[in-house]
Amino acid sequence: MSRQIIVGNWKMNGLTADSAERARTIAAGLPAGSSAEVVICPPFTQLAALASIVKDTRVGLGAQNCHKDEKGAHTGDISPQMLTDLGVSYVILGHSERRQNHGEIDETVREKAVAATKAGLTPIVCIGETEDQRQSGETQNTLGWQIKGSLPDGFSGILAYEPIWAIGTGLAATPDDIRETLSFLRAELIRQFGETGKSISILYGGSVSADNAAEILAIQDVGGALVGGASLKPDAFLSIVRAASAG
Ligand code: PEP
């Protein structure tokens, strides 16, 4: 298995002092010789300060969104170039909270993924089904269309499978469900992207915790985890990193 990646999505949490403290604790607590890649994604306002804190550590820095344009009349938006300028390497795109609360559709996400890649960022594109889609047996159909719509041709980033019903609920998908969905996603990536589809990492996200991480990260083809709530607690986040390193 290739190197697993553990991404912490801090969402809209963190003022200057506690963000700095959290980043320092995570950097200092990384297991020696860890085989996992670790990325933290704080709010935009914390990126500059955290860039200098994680510089020269093994913690990578990501943002939670970006615009598709390099510059221009887009009040309140942040371009991919503004992120690389700060030392940011990753960007989460198409998170379900952005799709739901900001009307982002697959096409928006795809355009952002193109722009992010062009700027030198690694996009982490999120897809996932709602509880209703799951209940009506539409999971695979939904995910297949999201891959087709959200990932640009020649996509070379990371895919994050995050069932919406599992995000922030404390109810992660079962290992059997993750295994089955990931094998569908892998087949779909290969169908849509050919050979490249074999090497796109697929993260699982949705209530990953210190308790369930080892089981989830041991599942065949899980390339790592996108972690929300537990990434705000350094102890829990570091346990998840250790679980990845052990895999
Ligand atoms: C997320 O929002 O990306 C997420 C996975 O959240 P949580 O881990 O809290 O379910």
Which of 37, 95, 104, 129 does the annotation list as catalytic?
95
User: Looking at ligand 1, which residue's alpha carbon is closest to its atom 4?
Assistant: 228
φ, ψ of residue 167 in degrees (nearest 5)? -80, 120
- Residue 157 amino acid letter: G
Q: Write down the pLDDT at residue 146.
A: 98
Mean pLDDT of 77-103: 98
Ligand 1 centroid to Cα of residue 33, in Å, is 27
DSSP-derived letter for residue 121 is -
Which of 215, 205, 206, 204 minimizes the C-alpha distance to 239? 215
Mean pLDDT of 26-42: 94
Ligand 1 centroid to Cα of residue 72, in Å, is 32
Mean pLDDT of 23-51: 95
74 is catalytic: no
**Which CB contacts under 8 angstroms, 24+ apart, belong to 191-194?**
192/147, 192/148, 192/151, 193/151, 193/154, 193/155
Q: List domains and CATH numbers for the chain.
A: 9-246 (3.20.20.70)
Mean pLDDT of 211-238: 97
Q: pLDDT by residue (tens digit) across 150-206?
A: 999 999 999 999 999 999 999 999 999 999 999 999 999 999 999 999 999 999 999
Q: pLDDT by residue (tens digit) across 140-151?
A: 999 999 999 999
Q: How does residue 2 score in pLDDT terms, banded at 50, 70 and 90?
A: confident
Residue 246 has pLDDT above 80, yes or no: no
Q: How far apart are CA 109 and CA 130, in angstroms?
A: 18
Q: How does residue 120 score in pLDDT terms, banded at 50, 70 and 90?
A: very high
Q: Write down the pLDDT at residue 33.
A: 82
> Backbone dihedral region of 37: left (phi > 0), alpha (psi from -120 to 50 degrees) or beta?
beta
Q: How far apart are CA 17 and CA 233, in angstroms?
A: 15
Q: pLDDT by residue (tens digit) across 196-212?
A: 999 999 999 999 999 99
Ligand 1 centroid to Cα of residue 228, in Å, is 3
Q: Write down the pLDDT at residue 247.
A: 57
